[in-house]
Structure 1
Amino acid sequence: MAKLDISVPDLTLPDGNKIPLIGYGLGTAWYKSDSNAPKDQKLIEATKVALKVGYRHLDGAEVYNTEEELGDAIKQSQVPREQLFVTTKVIVNIEDIPAAIDKSLKKLGLDYVDLYLIHSPFFAKGDKKALQEKWAQLEQIAAAGKAKSIGVSNFLKPHLDAILETAKVRPAINQIEFHPYLQHGDLLAYHKNKDIRVAAYAPLTPLIRAKGGPIDGILDSLAKKYAVSPGEILLRWSIDQDVLPITTSSSEQRLSDYLRVFTFKLTPKEVEEISQVGNTHHYRAFWNDVFGADDRS
């Protein structure tokens, strides 16, 4: 396989730190339900392949139970630490965030992470003060140098409003499920207004979990036009809206192909067409126990 000579551009976070504009995720397909399960050697190898192909942004979380695999892959890859952007998230041990980050760093074999996220706001059960307290603890983690940037995941406007009331440091990023079938109304515009960046997990949902939806034909047509895959069109749709996609695969060819998203751009009209047609259909892959069937927030 010919290795594409493509350098991944960065997105600048509100705190001035830079994050690579595509991430390799160790959740979803790689998630381990048992924290005591043996190490997943396939995941270690797949992550090393991602690093070999050119990914430098690695997205993990304590709840995935794969932080040890991520740490092993980093160590075995011998890619210099300063060239990597490592994300992890806290939710299992949300009651004691200082202990949680130490536990994660130990599993990762690192002195710091580049980005530390509160994995979801739902632990607070609508309690604004609980969200504010946990955000203050994240600020302490950043002040101690254990995380270069701090942010959130799965937060909606009310949750963000709550922490912004008392925050000394604004969230650098909010990582949300985002794809044409779940665009969250005016949430992107809200983030822009508040100077918070957005990352997308499950960006390929229309192809992987919701195949047969109304944008299939558009994706196929644009894939032919740009000589790429429909998946690359979906990733580019996110990037063209300044949304950073997190994706995964165990296929070296596919991971390499995904980096072709930095060789072309969709036109504003094409981005808008995907958005408009996508909005005619609703599909949420995660948190269906929290949201109603027709809730698009």
Structure 2
Amino acid sequence: MAKLDVNIPDLTLPDGNKIPMIGYGTGTAWYKTDASSPKDKALIDAAKTAIKVGYHHLDGAEVYNTEEELGEAIKESKHPRDKLFVTTKVITHIDDIPAAIDRSLKKLGLDHVDLYLIHAPFFAKGDKHALQQKWADMEQVAASGKAKSIGVSNFGKKDLDAILETAKVRPAINQIEFHPYLQHGDLLAYHKSKDIKVAAYAPLTPVTKAKGGPLDGYLEQLAKKYGVNPGEILLRWCTEQDVVAITTSSKEQRMSDMLRIFTFNLTPKEVEEISTKGNSHHFRAFWNHIFDDNDRT
């Protein structure tokens, strides 16, 4: 199949570094429960295909147990390292962040990542001093050059407020579950006020895990209008709000199709309508053991 010729825009992070607006994720469907299990050849091939198709933002994490596969794909792709944006995250070994980044880099076969995230704040159990200490460790990782940018994932306002009290380097980005059925109240506005960017994981949830909701018909209507599919409307809804979209697929055609989001724009009214309809329904795909059923934060 022919490679879709699109220009993937970047989002400028608070530290001046740039992150591509769409990323290829190696978690969720690719997640391995056993760190000692054999390498997943299917993931290596899929990640190589993603790079070939045009995804130069690659999103991983130590807890996915797929860093070796991602590293192998990067190596086999022979794509210039400086043309890739590689993210990984720490949570399994949050107790020793300096050792954790070294372990991740070894698995990835890299001397640095472009973005290093604390995967979740829940280890701290609400202790702001624990969060502040771990953020200080992240700042040391950035100072060492092993991560060009540092940030967080799954952090709420209280968690961010805690680390901002003592931070010398503000988090560049917060990667959160974000889609029309989980908009987190005024969290986007909060991030903007603090100059912290946002990335969305599970942005396709309304058409993957939560079909039958109030958005189904409207997404189909917009998909027909723009000659794409409903999932691409959801990805475009994210990027229209300056939210980086993290998604995945094992199919080359699907990977290519998702890049069509950079060939059209939703109108402001359409973005607002998706948001309004989405807010009438609540669905959280991840971390349900942490949050109450009706918690929309």
TM bin (shorter chain): over 0.9
State the shift of 1:3 in Å.
1.6
Per-residue deviation, residues 199-229 of structure 1 (Å, max 9, x unmatched): 0000000000001110000100000100111
TM-score (norm 1): 1.00
| 1:46 match | 46
Secondary structure of 1:70's counterpart equals: helix
| 2:130 match | 130
State the shift of 1:88 in Å.
0.1
State the shift of 1:294 in Å.
0.4
The CA RMSD measured in Å over matched residues stands at 0.4
Residue 257 (structure 2) pairs with residue 257 (structure 1): yes
- In 1, distance between residues paired with 2:258 and 2:285? 21
Secondary structure of 2:16's counterpart equals: coil
Secondary structure of 1:190's counterpart equals: helix
State the shift of 1:128 in Å.
0.2
The question of whether the paired residues in 2 share the 8 Å contact of 1:7 and 1:54 is answered with no
Letter paired with 2:194: K
Residue 130 (structure 2) pairs with residue 116 (structure 1): no
Residue 226 (structure 2) pairs with residue 195 (structure 1): no
- In 2, distance between residues paired with 1:24 and 1:119? 17
The question of whether the paired residues in 2 share the 8 Å contact of 1:151 and 1:173 is answered with yes
State the shift of 1:71 in Å.
0.2
The question of whether the paired residues in 2 share the 8 Å contact of 1:138 and 1:150 is answered with yes
Letter paired with 1:73: A
The question of whether the paired residues in 2 share the 8 Å contact of 1:23 and 1:56 is answered with yes
| 1:229 match | 229
Q: Structure 1: which 5+ runs fail to align?
A: none
Per-residue deviation, residues 159-196 of structure 1 (Å, max 9, x unmatched): 00000000000000000000000000000000000000
Letter paired with 2:134: K
| 1:162 match | 162
State the shift of 1:2 in Å.
2.2
The question of whether the paired residues in 2 share the 8 Å contact of 1:174 and 1:197 is answered with yes
| 1:77 match | 77
| 1:283 match | 283
- In 2, distance between residues paired with 1:84 and 1:7? 15
State the shift of 1:125 in Å.
0.1
Per-residue deviation, residues 48-73 of structure 1 (Å, max 9, x unmatched): 00000000000000000000000000
Letter paired with 1:289: H
The question of whether the paired residues in 2 share the 8 Å contact of 1:113 and 1:146 is answered with yes
Letter paired with 1:76: E
| 2:5 match | 5
Q: Note the 1:206-217 alignment, pairs <5 A.
A: 206-217=206-217
Q: Structure 2: which 5+ runs fail to align?
A: none
Letter paired with 1:291: F
State the shift of 1:119 in Å.
0.1
State the shift of 1:289 in Å.
0.3
| 1:21 match | 21
The question of whether the paired residues in 2 share the 8 Å contact of 1:90 and 1:97 is answered with yes
The question of whether the paired residues in 2 share the 8 Å contact of 1:71 and 1:109 is answered with yes
- In 2, distance between residues paired with 1:241 and 1:7? 18
Secondary structure of 2:200's counterpart equals: strand
Secondary structure of 1:129's counterpart equals: helix
Letter paired with 1:268: P
Runs of 4+ in 1 over 6 A off after TM superposition: none
State the shift of 1:123 in Å.
0.2
Letter paired with 1:109: G
